[in-house]
Amino acid sequence: MMRNLRVDANRIQSDLEALAAITDPGRPWTRRAFSPRFDEGRGWLARRFAEAGLTVSHDAGGNLIGRRAGSAGGLGTILLGSHSDTVPDGGRFDGVAGVVVALEVARTLAERGHELRHDLGIVDFLAEEVSVFGVSCIGSRAMAGVLPADWMGLTHEGRTLETAMRDVGGAPEDIAARDDIRAFLELHIEQGPVLEDSGCDLGIVTAIAGITRVEIVLTGRPDHAGTTPMTGRGDALVAAAGLVSAIEAEARDRAAQGSHFTATVGEFSMEPNAANVVPGRVRMLIDARAADRAQMLGFLDWIDARCAALPEAIAVEVRRLSDNQPTPMDGALIDRLDAAADRCGARHRRMVSGAGHDAAFMARIAPAAMVFVPCLGGRSHCPEEWAETADIALGAEVLAETVIALDQG
C-alpha cells in the first residue's frame, strides 16, 4: 500500500483554489466557455502547463494541450484531462479537478524522474458543459472527429460557434480525429452519493450511460372549469399527471433490476395555465439514462404502449429528441486502474457514470477509462459542490501509477 503519496496534495489544493478565484463576480463558481472569465482561466492554466515544462498549444477544436515528448518516438500519446468550463453557479470541482490532476501527474512524473517512452499529453477540453450555443462536449467531439459541421453556424449574441472557437485558439477547418492516442484517462468528481454512502475512496467507471430525451405532448380540450361536468372532460393535465407517476414507477422497477437506469420528467408545462380553465395541452420532456441499451429500448417501447393506452379524449405525440447509446470503458484500462488502486491502498468499486463526460467521445478513437472521487453529499452543479483534496490526491496517485504501468506495458 502506498498511502504516503508521491503527488503533492498541497499543490493540487493551491491550483484548485486559484481556479476557483477566477469566477464571475458574485457568482461562485462560474466560468462558462467562451466568456472572458473562461479565457482568464485558460490563460492561468497555460502558464501552469508551461511552468511544468510542457509544450503548450491549442488544437483545431480549441482544446488547450500540454505535451511532453516521450523517449521513444512513434509510440503515441497517453492523454489525461477533463474540462475547466463550468455550469452557472456550480463548477468548483466538476471537470476542474480532472485538469488539475492531469497537470499534477505530469509534474510528479517529471520530478520523480519517470521518463516515459510514450508522449504524455494533458488536455483542457473546450466546452464540455452545455455552452451559450446550446451544445456541449465541443472540444472532445472535435478531437474525435465527430463535431457536427452544421454546429459551426450556431449563433449567440451575433457570434457564431465557428468564430468563438477561433477566438479561443481553434481552427475549425482543420478538425480531424486524432490517431495517436494510445489511452485516455479522466478523473472526475462522482456527482452522486454512491462513493460517500459506500465508504469507498474511488470509483472505477465501467460505462457512461446512454442518454435519451423524449418529448411528449398531450392535447385534450380546454373548457370552463366550473360548467364542464367531471365526466365529460378532456383534461390533459390529469392524463399527464398519471403518466409522470407511471414513468417514476417504471424507472424504479428498471433500476431495481441491477443495471444503472434513471428517468426524469425534467421539463413540464401546461396551457392555458389558468385557474378556471380545464388544461388543454401539456408538454413534458423525459431524460432517460441507461448503461444497458436493451433496458433503454424496453423503456421506450413501454412509453409508446403507455401513451397509446391513454383515454381517447387525449391526443398524444411522442417524439425522440436525442438518443445516445451507452459507452463502455476499456476493459484492459479498467483492470489497470483497479490494480493501481490496490497498490495505492484505495478502497474502490466499479460503477456506471450516469452523467456524460468527454471520455465518451475519446472512447471512439482510443481506449478510455475514468476514475471518480467522492463529492460531499453527492452534490454537483451547485455552489455547495465540494470534494476533499485528500480524495483528489489519491485519485491522482492512481492515475500516475496507471500511466507508468501503461508506458512500461
Q: Residues 335, 199: one domain?
A: yes
Q: Residues 145, 66: one domain?
A: yes
Q: Residues 292, 338: one domain?
A: no
Residue at 168 is within a domain: yes
Q: What are phi and psi of 361, to 5 degrees?
A: -85, -35
Is residue 131 classed exposed, middle or buried when 0-12, 13-18 and 19+ CB atoms within 10 A define those classes? buried
Would you say 58 is a known binding-site residue? no
Q: Can you tell me the distance from the alpha carbon of 109 to that of 400, in angstroms, rounded to the nearest whole number?
A: 7
Beta-strand runs (E) in 158-260 = 159-160, 181-189, 202-208, 210-219
Q: Are 211 and 260 in contact (CB under 8 A)?
A: no
Residue range 204-251, pLDDT digits in tens: 999 999 999 999 999 999 999 999 999 989 999 999 999 999 999 999
Q: Residues 136, 24: one domain?
A: yes
Would you say 381 is a known binding-site residue? yes
What share of the chain in percent tops pLDDT 90?
A: 97
Residue at 2 is within a domain: no
pLDDT at 91: 85
Three cell numbers, residue 160 = 457564431
Residue whose C-alpha cell reads 449563433 in the numeric block:
155
Residue at 1 is within a domain: no
DSSP character at residue 174? G
Q: Residues 201, 271: one domain?
A: no
Q: Residues 342, 365: one domain?
A: yes
How far from the centroid of its chain's Cα atoms is residue 181's Cα? 20
pLDDT at 82: 98
Residue ending a domain, among 272, 291, 323, is 323
pLDDT at 168: 98
Where in the sequence is the domain holding 372, given as residue range(s)? 9-208+326-408
Residue at 362 is within a domain: yes
Instruction: Judge whether residue 40 has pLDDT over 70.
Output: yes
Would you say 94 is a known binding-site residue? yes
Nearest to 396 by CA among 368, 376, 371, 367: 371
Residue range 131-160, pLDDT digits in tens: 999 999 999 999 999 999 999 999 999 999
Q: Can you tell me the distance from the alpha carbon of 144 to that of 165, in angstroms, rounded to the nearest whole number?
A: 16
Three cell numbers, residue 120 = 504524455
Q: Residues 15, 145: one domain?
A: yes
Residue at 55 is within a domain: yes
pLDDT at 81: 98
Q: Residues 308, 352: one domain?
A: no
Residue ending a domain, among 323, 340, 366, is 323
Would you say 260 is a known binding-site residue? no
Confidence category of residue 161, pLDDT binned at 50, 70, 90: very high
Q: How far is CA 132 from CA 75, 89, 159, 267, in A?
A: 38, 15, 11, 19
Q: What are phi and psi of 310, to 5 degrees?
A: -70, 160
Q: Residues 308, 289: one domain?
A: yes
The mean pLDDT value for 290-306 works out to: 98
Q: Are 392 and 101 in contact (CB under 8 A)?
A: yes
Instruction: Judge whether residue 270 has pLDDT over 80.
Output: yes
Q: Can you tell me the distance from the alpha carbon of 348 to that of 370, in angstroms, rounded to the nearest whole number?
A: 13
Cα dihedral value 344, 45, 389, 405, nearest 10 = -10
The CATH number covering residue 279 comes to: 3.30.70.360
Residue range 76-99, pLDDT digits in tens: 999 999 999 999 999 899 999 999
Residue at 100 is within a domain: yes
The CATH number covering residue 120 comes to: 3.40.630.10
Q: Residues 41, 179: one domain?
A: yes
Number of domains in the chain: 2
Q: What mean pLDDT, rounded, does the chain reach?
A: 97
Would you say 287 is a known binding-site residue? no
Residue at 390 is within a domain: yes
pLDDT at 293: 97
The mean pLDDT value for 338-363 works out to: 97
Q: Residues 256, 232: one domain?
A: yes
Q: Can you tell me the distance from the alpha carbon of 10 to that of 198, in angstroms, rounded to the nearest whole number?
A: 27
Q: Residues 288, 219: one domain?
A: yes
The mean pLDDT value for 176-195 works out to: 98
Instruction: Judge whether residue 2 has pLDDT over 90.
Output: no
Residue ending a domain, among 323, 352, 375, is 323
pLDDT at 388: 97
Q: What is the pTM of this model?
A: 0.94
Instruction: Judge whether residue 73 has pLDDT over 70.
Output: yes
Instruction: Judge whether residue 4 has pLDDT over 70.
Output: no
Residue at 155 is within a domain: yes
Would you say 276 is a known binding-site residue? yes
